């Protein structure tokens, strides 16, 4: 199957948009993952001990 130049440009633009949204989703998931790791770290910390 051979694409016309216009079809190639359209396919390229679609791929660029997919990559843009995938990167946005990855950034969102990374931020969510960091927040969850922080919550987990706080939940598993031993309780602070009172001084004498």
Confidence grade of residue 51 (pLDDT, cut at 50, 70, 90)? low
Per-residue model confidence as pLDDT tens digits over 4-49: 999 999 999 999 999 999 999 999 999 999 999 999 999 998 877 7
Residue 10 or residue 51, greater confidence:
10
Q: Residue 3: phi, psi to the nearest 5?
A: -100, 150
Can you give the pLDDT at residue 52?
Answer: 62
Confidence grade of residue 1 (pLDDT, cut at 50, 70, 90)? confident
For residues 28-52, one letter each, b for 16 or more C-beta atoms within 10 angstroms of the residue's C-beta and e for the rest, the string is: eeeeeeeeeeeeeeeeeeeeeeeee
Per-residue tokens: 29? 């998931």
């Amino acid at each position: 199957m051979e694409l016309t130049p216009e079809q190639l440009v359209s396919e390229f633009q679609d791929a660029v948009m997919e990559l843009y949204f995938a990167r946005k989703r990855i950034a969102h998931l990374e931020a969510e993952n960091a927040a969850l790791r922080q919550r987990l770290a706080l939940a598993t910390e031993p309780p602070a001990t009172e001084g004498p």
